[in-house]
Amino acid sequence: MYFHDFNPVFVITFLVLWYVLQGTAYYKFFEKAGKEGWKGFVPVLNYYIHLEIVGRPKWWVVLLFVPVINFFVGLTMHLDLMKSFGKYTYLDQVLGVIFAPIYMNYIAWTDTKYIDKATEIPKPKKSFGKEWFEAIVFAVFCATFVRWIFMEAYVIPTGSMERSLLVGDFLFVSKAEYGPRTPQTPMQVPLTHQTIWGTEIPSYIPGVSLPSLRLPSLGKVERNDVVVFNYPVNDHYNQRNDGGYHPMDLKTHYIKRCVAVAGETLEIKATQVYINGEEQENPPLMQHQYFIKTDESIRDRIFEKYNVDPQNRNRMPGGYVAHMPRDVAKEMEKLQFVESVTLQLIPENRSEQNIFPDARYFPWNRDFFGPLTVPATGMTIEVNEENLAMYGSTISNYEGNDSVEIDIDKLVVNGEELSEYTFKKDYYFMMGDNRHASDDSRYWGFVPEDNIVGEASFIWMSFNTNGSFINKIRWERLFDGIE
C-alpha cells in the first residue's frame, strides 16, 4: 500500500488524531511547567516551547524539518521531556518511544511534576556496566529504526548488474522511496537477516508471524529503477536448514532493473526490450555476451584497457567469449589481431528449458521473449489452458489465496471453480543489466509488490577483489549515484 493508495478519510483521521493527542499532552505539560497550555495546540510554536522547557536551543525547531536529522532531534526532545518530568527509567523511555503520544498523555495527566530543564538535571549515578548497556541498546534501537524506515546498506555479490553495478560495490538503498514494510517476523535479532552473524542459526522464530503492511511512500516503482527486492521463489536460495522456507521479508535479497511495471506488455526481440510495442532506451552500461574471433592470445592488459572483468571472459576454441557493452565490442573489433566480434544470440523460437513461464507452451529464450503482460491489481484474465500456463504459478504462489488447484484449463480458488480470475496485486518484471549473465524474471517470473524492499540510491564504498593492495578501493566509484 502506498501513500496515494490510502483513503483520504483515513489519512485525515490519522493526522487529526495524532495532532489532538500531541496537543492534549502538551497542554498539560506546558501548564505544569508554568507556560500557557493553549500554546500546545499551535504548530511550530509548541515545539519552540518544548525546547524551552527541556533546555535545548530554540533553533532546533529548524532541524525538525530536515529529513533523517529530524528523527534524531525529535527523539532527543521526546526523551528530554520525560526527564524534565521525572521519568528517567529505561522502561519509561522505551514505552514513551513505542507508544507515543499515548504514553505522553499518561505522563502529562497523572501526578507528575515539572522538575527542571532536562539539560540542567544532574544525571543519576549508574554503574559502568549499566551505562554501557543502555548506550548499546539505544544505539541498536536507532540503527534498527533507520535501517527499517530510511536506509539500509547492501553489497553486490554477483555480476548480474555489471557494469552499472560491480561486484564489491556497497550501496545505500532507500526504503522511504517505495515505503518501508512493517516486519513480518517481529521476534528477530536486531540488525540481522536470515541467520545470526557468522552462524547458520536462524535469527528469528519462524512460528511467530504478523501481516506485512507497507507504510506511506514517496512514490512507486517506475520503469528503469534499480530495485532491491526479496527473491520470491521458494527454492534453495530461500530454504532453511530445517527444510522450510524463509518468510517473505527475510527471503534472499536480489538487485535488478525494473524493465516493466504492472499492466505493461513486455517483449524482447534480439535482446532489445519493447514495452507496449515501443522500443525502450537501454541502460548506458548494458552488457551482452560476444564471441571474439582470433587466432592469437589476448593479453590481460588489453582486456583491462576495455574494463572486461576476468570473471566475464573465457578462452574458447578459435577465440574468447566475453561480456561487454556494445560500444566496447565495436572498439575491440578494430584491433588488428581480432577477426570479428559477434553478439551471441539464441535463435528465435528456440526455447530455453528453464524459461518463464513454461517452455512447453511458450518457445522463448533470453534474447527473444514474450509478448507477456505484467499482472496489475484489477486485471482480469479468462481461465483457459494458455492463460493458466502463463499466470498459473503467479496465482498459486503470490496472490495470497488460501487454496489454489490448477488442472490444465481449470482453476479452483478457495474451493470455487472460476471462469475468470482478477489479480489482487501489482507485479514487476526485473532484469539484470548484464543481460546474458543474469538470473532474473525471464527465468523465474514476476516480482510481487510485497517483495519490493527499496531503490538503490548511491555507492558509498567499492572494493576490487582483483586489484593490488593500493588499488583495492575503486575511488572513482565512491558516492556515485545509481542510474
* pLDDT value at 10 more than 70: no
Number of structural domains (the chain) is 3
What pLDDT is stored for residue 217 in this prediction?
82
Q: Residue 460 in contact with residue 245, Cβ under 8 Å?
A: no
Q: Pick the last residue of a domain from 115, 148, 181.
A: 148
Which residue has better confidence, 196 or 469?
Answer: 196
My answer on whether 413 and 318 are in the same domain is no
* pLDDT value at 429 more than 60: yes
Q: 175, 220, 251, 256: which is the annotated catalytic residue?
A: 256
My answer on whether 40 and 142 are in the same domain is yes
CA–CA distance, 430 with 344 (Å, rounded to integer): 22
pLDDT tens per residue, range 369-384: 999 999 999 999 999 9
pLDDT tens per residue, range 249-288: 999 999 999 999 999 999 999 999 999 999 999 999 999 9
Q: Quick check: is 467 in a domain?
A: no
What pLDDT is stored for residue 5 in this prediction?
47
pLDDT tens per residue, range 288-339: 999 999 999 999 999 989 989 888 899 999 999 999 999 999 999 999 999 9
Q: Quick check: is 213 in a domain?
A: no
Structural domain containing residue 41? 3-148
Q: Quick check: is 397 in a domain?
A: yes
Q: What count of other Cβ atoms lies within 10 Å of the Cβ of residue 221?
A: 22
What pLDDT is stored for residue 213 in this prediction?
84
Provide the CA 207 distance to its chain's centre, in angstroms. Answer: 24
What average pLDDT is seen over the chain? 89
What pLDDT is stored for residue 472 in this prediction?
84
What pLDDT is stored for residue 7 in this prediction?
53
* pLDDT value at 240 more than 60: yes
pLDDT tens per residue, range 397-415: 999 999 999 999 999 999 9
pLDDT tens per residue, range 200-213: 888 888 888 888 88
My answer on whether 65 and 136 are in the same domain is yes
Q: 84, 160, 174, 441: which is the annotated catalytic residue?
A: 160
**Range list of β-strands (E), 298-426:** 313-316, 319-324, 340-343, 369-373, 380-382, 404-407, 410-413, 416-418, 420-422
My answer on whether 389 and 337 are in the same domain is no
Q: Quick check: is 29 in a domain?
A: yes
Based on the residue annotation, tell me whether 123 is a catalytic residue of this protein: no
Closest CA to 220 of 400, 1, 432, 7: 1
My answer on whether 34 and 108 are in the same domain is yes
pLDDT tens per residue, range 142-199: 778 778 888 888 888 888 888 788 888 889 899 988 988 888 888 888 888 888 888 8
My answer on whether 10 and 115 are in the same domain is yes
Q: Quick check: is 220 in a domain?
A: no
Which residue has better confidence, 341 or 6?
Answer: 341
What pLDDT is stored for residue 125 in this prediction?
75
Q: Pick the last residue of a domain from 388, 422, 456.
A: 422
468 CB-near residues (< 8 Å, 6+ apart): none
pLDDT tens per residue, range 61-70: 999 888 768 8
Split at pLDDT 50, 70, 90, the class of 116 is: very high
CA–CA distance, 249 with 231 (Å, rounded to integer): 10
Q: Residue 171 in contact with residue 149, Cβ under 8 Å?
A: no
Q: Quick check: is 8 in a domain?
A: yes
My answer on whether 33 and 107 are in the same domain is yes
Q: Pick the last residue of a domain from 133, 148, 163.
A: 148
Based on the residue annotation, tell me whether 251 is a catalytic residue of this protein: no
Q: pTM score, two decimals?
A: 0.81
